[in-house]
Structure formats: C-alpha cells, structure tokens
Structure 1
Amino acid sequence: MAMSKAVRRRRPPASLAVAVDLVIFTVRNGRLQVLLIERGNLPYRGEAALPGGFVRDGEALGAAARRELREETGVGGGSLHLEQLHAYGEPGRDPRGRIISIAYLAFGPDLPVPQAGTDASAAHWIPVSSVLDGQITLAFDHEEILRDGLERVRSQIEHTTIAAAFCKEPFTIADLRQIYEAVWGVPLDPSNFRRKVMKTEGFVVPIGERRSPDIGRPAALFRRGLAKTLTPPLTRLGSIAQPLADDEKLT
C-alpha cells in the first residue's frame, strides 16, 4: 500500500507540572477553620494560600501531599485521612505555566497550631467565613478549591457520623449540634436536632450520666456509637435548620 504523501504533524506534548494543594479543616473555638499559609515566594508573595507544592520525580501524589503539609505548616499528616478532592487544570490558573493541581481534603479534630516552614513565611488557622466574605483573598484558584472542599465536608456530615469525632467524650447533644452549626454555617433547631440524632441508631450512645451547666438543667452525656453512616441522612435543608438573615449567612 502506497504511503500517503500527506504527513500529519504531531503537536509536541504540552510542558506541564503536577502539584498538590491541601484543604485542611478543623473546628476551633466553635468555628470552622481552614489551614492557610502566607506565601514566601513568587508568585503571590505575601498572600494567603492553601498549603501545597510540586510533586517530586518518583513521588506518589499522597506522599507529596503529606510532605507538603508537614514542610509548610509543621502539621503531621500521619493521623489525618487525606482524600482526593478534585483535579484543577484550567490554563492560566498559575502564572508560572501549565500546572495541574490535585487537591486533597482532610477534616480533623484537635489539630495543632501550625508552624511555617520551607517556602511559607507564616501558617495559621483562619475562620472559613473570613475567606467566603472577602476579608481574605487567596492566591491562584484556591478559593474555588476551598469552596469545593467545604461543600464536600458539609455533605459528609450529612451522610456520616464524622461530626461526633470532633466532640471530646463524653459530650452533650448541644456539643454535637455546635459542630454541625460550625460546618454548615446555619443555626439549628435544638429540639428537632436532638430528635433526629436520637432516632439514628448507633450515632450516639448515652452513658447514663449528666453534666450540670452553670445555667439551666443538667444535660445527658453521650459517647460515639459504632455507626459510620447516617440512615436516613441528617440533611442541612431539613426541618432541623433555622432560617438565617441575609447578613448572617455563611455562603
């Protein structure tokens, strides 16, 4: 068979790099907070960003995520369950060139105060609301990544019992409700929340003791149950939510 005279010109492969970014949430002082760094290098030197960096040759993505978390913030990732959130690769998302970032998500209780290192000049726990309401602007497309991570975590506590892990045992139903309110950003009706929690088998287990507050009646104490999923789910749009005024919303 005669070869075609037309020669198809192949485009050279695009030059690109692979990075990881980390969305690490915790609840501190009753507020949902995210781990942010202050960038020490260009681009965006001095601006707030999610911790992260480039994947090294021969390095697995998960290993790169844990290394960057440790190097930039001093927070060890060994006890955290990191899960892949999404890949971000829009052209122009990084002024240094075509960079694909794999975002990782973690939501953990009692996380330590971060310590900046490597190319981060500072690291802090920052209320998520400070980013969402525009008080803090994030470098690159990190606000989009944070918002995607926030929605994932909000969905997780609808369908799993992970919120109970943020309560120091023993805890009250009000303690558990405060975790939901911090993550969802809405106040919840105490009676409806309690009723739904108590109807979910294996979510919480009473220990037969009560805590006496400074004001009000003693509250029953609980520990975490063995259930991993919530059936039915505890939906934020259900009857447990109280409406917020426009200036109170955590969007």
Structure 2
Amino acid sequence: ADEDLGAAAARELVEETGLCAHDPTAPAAGNGAHLEQLATYGDPGRDPRMRVVSVAHLALAPDLPAPRAGGDANSARWASVGDLLGPGGGFVREDEQTAPLAFDHARILEDGVERARSKIEYSSLATAFCPPEFTVGELRRVYEAVWGVVLDPRNFHRKVTGTPGFLVPSGGTTTRQGGRPAQLFRAGAATVLNPPMLRPEV
C-alpha cells in the first residue's frame, strides 16, 4: 500500500527470480536490468475467480542469472518466447506436459515482445546486448533475434554506420567470427535513433 508501482515491480522481480532491475523513473536508477511499465490490464472477465487489475512491467537485460524462486513462487525458470507463444505453445510443467499460459497472460507477453521489438527501432537499446566492443554482425544478430527476421548484412551495415551517433569505431578489428577481420565499434552517445531502424515487413 505504501510502495510505488515501479519499486514494487522491481522488488517482486528480484524476490521471485533473483533478477535485479531498476525503475528508470526512480531518482537513483543504479545497475541491473532495465524495467519499465508496459500496460494495465483490467478486463472484468480476465480472471474468472474475481476482479483483478494487473499492471505489467517489461524487464530488458543482456544477461539473465539462473532464476531462483522465492516469495510466493514455488519454482522459477526462464522460457523462450517462441516456446510460450508459438503454435501449440505454453509452458512445460513439472510432469513435462505443455500447458497454455493462464488467463490473458499470452496477450500480455505478446504486448511485451512487441514493445521490445519497437523499442530497438528508435533507441540504441540493442547495443546493450553486445560486448563493450562489437562488430556490426554481432549487433545485427541482436536485431534478428528480437525481430525474428533475417536481415541483409550490407543494408544493415549501411544503416547502422550511417546513423549519426549510433556507433563509434573503436579502432580495432577482430576475427572472433571467423573469416576476414571485422571492424569493432562501441555504442555512441545517441540514445534515440533518427531516422529509426525500421523493421522489415514480414
């Protein structure tokens, strides 16, 4: 009753999974996963047991620790969005049977995935999922994983290196991907991409 929604979401997330996150609206954000309010879900029939209003939050993090259940969760594990939302999808129970997500949770998850996909169109968030110095190919794989598409390497290279302030050459090269040495970059100062990196239509 005496807790801000963002603070409550961050507290619940760490209690139930062990993932530390910060509310970007808090005065001292600190380190950890990025946490933001996604949407409020209040359809009167969303839970047949009683009237329930849920304020969903989206957490984005490049590294997920092994989850540890706590509080009122008797188990916790990370699951692939593809497994949860794909054809015949759902979560795998302890008896190894697949069960659908409860109530309107598939819709909430779909909304969260869409928010993450649109967020990397207009922000530099994707660079947080790369090492401190990365190749354009490594960055492209982040976009491909989030968007669920295969991108043309040359087109992508032209767009990201041509967006002012997005990438800064580090001066080095690497062969960690095999083949010829690839140029290394760091994230630039831009946090908003203009023009945005628009998703290809599927």
Hey, which of these two has a bigger chunk of helix by percent?
2
Same fold (TM over 0.5): yes
Partner residue, 1:150:
113
Partner of 1:90 in structure 2? Answer: 43
Paired residues in the alignment total 183
Task: Please state if 1:192 is matched with 2:158.
Answer: no
2-structure distance, mates of 1:87, 1:154:
19
**In the alignment, which residue of structure 2 is the partner of 1:176?**
139
- Secondary structure, counterpart of 2:33 in structure 1: coil
- TM-score, normalization by structure 2: 0.85
- Displacement after TM superposition at 1:76 (Å): 1.8
Picking from 192, 214, 221, the partner of 2:184 is 221
Match of residue 105, structure 1, among 38, 42, 58: 58
* TM-score w.r.t. length of structure 1: 0.69
Which residue of structure 1 aligns with residue 16 of structure 2? 72
Match of 1:22 in 2: none
State the 1:68 CA deviation: 1.3
Q: Deviations over 1:25-46 (max 9, x none)?
A: xxxxxxxxxxxxxxxxxxxxxx
Confirm whether residue 135 of structure 1 aligns to residue 98 of structure 2: no
Aligned structure 1 segments of 4 or more residues deviating by more than 3 angstroms: none
Give the % identical residues. Answer: 56
Deviations 1:155-185 (A, max 9, x none): 1100011101110121100100010001000
The residue number in structure 2 matching 1:204 is: 167
Shift of 1:89: 0.6
Instruction: Please say if 1:122 is aligned against 2:66.
Output: no
Higher radius of gyration, 1 or 2:
1
For 2:148 and 2:132, the matched residues in 1 are separated by 23
Partners of 2:38 and 2:112 within 8 A in 1: yes
Report the residue type matching 2:142 in the other structure.
I
2:6 corresponds in structure 1 to 62
Distance 1:225 1:188 in 2: 22
120-129 or 185-194: bigger deviation: 120-129
Gaps of 5+ in 1: 1-56, 244-251
RMSD of aligned Cα (Å): 1.5
The Cα offsets for residues 92-142 of structure 1, whole Å up to 9 and x where unpaired, read as: 212331011111112121131110112212211211111121321211211
Determine whether 1:161 maps to 2:161: no
The worse-fitting range, judged by mean Cα deviation, of 118-127 and 169-178 is 118-127
Larger RCO of the pair (alpha carbons < 8 Å, separation 6+): 1
